Chains A and B, each alone.
Chain A
Amino acid sequence: MNIWEIIIITIVKILIAITTLLLSVAYMVYFERKISAWAQNRLGPNRVGYKGLLQPFADVFKLLLKEDIVPEAANKTLHTLAPFISLFVAFATYAVVPIGPTINLFGYEIKLVVADVNIGILYVLALTSLGVYGITLAGWSSGSKYSLLGGIRSSAQMISYEVSMGFSIAGVLLISESLRPIDIVNAQYGLMWNAIIQPIGFITFVVSAFAETNRLPFDLPEAEPELVGGYHTEYSSFKFAGFFLAEYANMIIASCLIVTLYLGGWQIPFIDKFGLNPALTTILQVFAFLFKTAFVLFVFIWVRWSIPRFRYDQLMNIGWKVMFPLSLVNIIWVAILIMIFKI
């Protein structure tokens, strides 16, 4: 492949990734509202379009048509910039998530990932920890004490979880001996999924992912009872939609990461034993990835309606006194596994 072909292929991949991500974010909102309704024995949105399927578009139009208000005390530049930081970070992480194996299309070898970089996991960790800037800046620049508190709570939360998140990933890296997401998936061949061989790491990572995405039970940055709204109290219209989008995009990316790191990515156990033709296998594998991601997203919403919000100090207690030691235990466990079984 010459340089132009690579550039064109990458641009096409980026466009596809962004459109699918935007669409899935929109439908994620619908999905969440539906499941929330089911959990409460309601019907959920069912007015716009068949079974309410056009609801996301109605929501988007409504948000865009609202008045954009910037408070007098706000720092105008940062106030405008903050949602875009959140959005940028959320979307940029998606670049290294592989959704399928390498395919052969029109004579080109195409990897189903936007950027196959060999420091993929480091890139993810670096970007996700940048996400907190968007939230903290939003809280600070709003010129409102409630928003400021929301932003500060968010940064405290992030610090408590980054460490155990990093350590849980270390277990995965020890086994796959690579930072490249594709290698990590390939290392989980058959039923050697990381969720099965290192369950403690899996749990700590999932809990950290919940905290990372500000989802219940860890949605401290936004808490109506004590903060009026949270870091986005002073936001309206499109800028609010930016945070909204970023939160759901974060959720989708967190699910993609959980699937890639722990649930075998696109792998379907023992599919090569059935002797299917390669094209069909690839399609099935992409669907397997999407299915697994959808399932994890369902778990995200499911947990939201099952567990109440953690208190501020409880959260940091868990982060530092429970999750951190547990993730260390996981590393030792993985080291023992490698020593004994030479995985």
Chain B
Amino acid sequence: MAIKKRKKDLNFFERIYIVEIIKGMILTLKNMFRPKFTMEYPEVKFEPPASYRGRPVLVLDENGKERCVACGLCSRVCPALAIEVRAAETELEKERYPELFEINMLRCIFCGFCEEVCPEEAIVMSKDYELVFTNREDAIFGKDKLLVPIENLKDRIEFLRRFK
């Protein structure tokens, strides 16, 4: 019976390794001269696509009013318990607005559930990924930091309408 050659059986040159090692080293050397694809971050900013989930923001409508009706669904669904909403009513009939809307960015895990559950398209994930704080109080974002004009969020809302 002929001895079957197995795939893992190495030939002589493979067994003395030297040739294989040199092959591997040449591969590494070639790699050193390939173009680098590192982005030099603070100078060159990364422009995320519409599907990117940056920090959650509240949408400020064309006429300067917030869309949020303080239903509290986002705060309910938030797995990290990062969102706090306190509702109040307006003069208008059946209109509510968030008197207080806070997201603790130390807890937020950018899961996007709040955006998914929002019936009013009022809370969406933005493209903002630069989050820096020097103390824990600064990490609690109130309405002043959360409200963003709708013009800046066009492609995210577009994306949500197409794929959500």
A contacts, CB < 8 Å to B: 35, 38-43, 46, 203, 302-303, 305-307
Contacts and interface: CB of A to CB of B under 8 A. Distances in A.
Interface string B33-45: 1111110100000
A301 to B, nearest CB: 10
B28 interface: yes
A41 B38 contact: yes
17 contacts: A38-B32, A39-B28, A39-B32, A40-B31, A41-B31, A41-B35, A41-B36, A41-B38, A203-B18, A302-B25, A302-B28, A302-B29, A303-B25, A305-B28, A306-B24, A306-B25, A307-B24
Contacts of A305: 28
Interface residues of B, number: 16
Contacts of B24: 306-307
B19 interface: no
Given A42-B38, A305-B28, 15 more contacts: A35-B32, A38-B31, A39-B28, A39-B32, A41-B31, A41-B36, A42-B36, A43-B36, A46-B40, A302-B28, A302-B29, A306-B24, A306-B25, A306-B27, A307-B25
Contact of A41 (B18, B25, B37): B37
B160 interface: no
B21 interface: yes
A95 B72 CA distance: 75
A307 B26 CA distance: 12
Contacts of A39: 28, 31-32
B8 to A, nearest CB: 17
A58 B38 CA distance: 22
A307 B24 CA distance: 8
A254 B33 CA distance: 27
B37 to A, nearest CB: 6
A49 to B, nearest CB: 16
Interface of A is mostly: loop
A232 B31 CA distance: 32
Contacts of B33: 38
A305 B38 CA distance: 19
A38 B21 CA distance: 19
Given A41-B38, A42-B38, A307 B21 contact: yes
A43 B40 contact: yes
Nearest to A305: B28
Nearest to B42: A47
B28 A306 contact: yes
Interface in B1-53: 18, 21, 24-25, 27-29, 31-38, 40
Nearest to B31: A39
Interface string B108-134: 000000000000000000000000000
A43 B38 contact: yes
A44 to B, nearest CB: 9
B34 A41 contact: yes
Most buried by A among B21, B32, B34: B32
Contacts of B31: 38-41
Nearest to B18: A203
A42 B24 CA distance: 19
Nearest to B33: A38
Contacts of B35: 41
Interface in B55-95: none
A39 to B, nearest CB: 5
A306 B37 CA distance: 20
A306 B25 CA distance: 5
A46 B36 CA distance: 14
A206 to B, nearest CB: 12
A41 B21 CA distance: 21
Nearest to B40: A43
A303 B34 CA distance: 18
A35 B32 CA distance: 8
Contacts of B40: 43, 46
Most buried by B among A46, A302, A305: A305
Nearest to B35: A41
Nearest to A308: B24
A338 to B, nearest CB: 26
A303 B33 CA distance: 16
A39 B21 CA distance: 16
A305 B28 CA distance: 7
Nearest to A38: B32
B36 A306 contact: no
Contacts of B38: 41-43
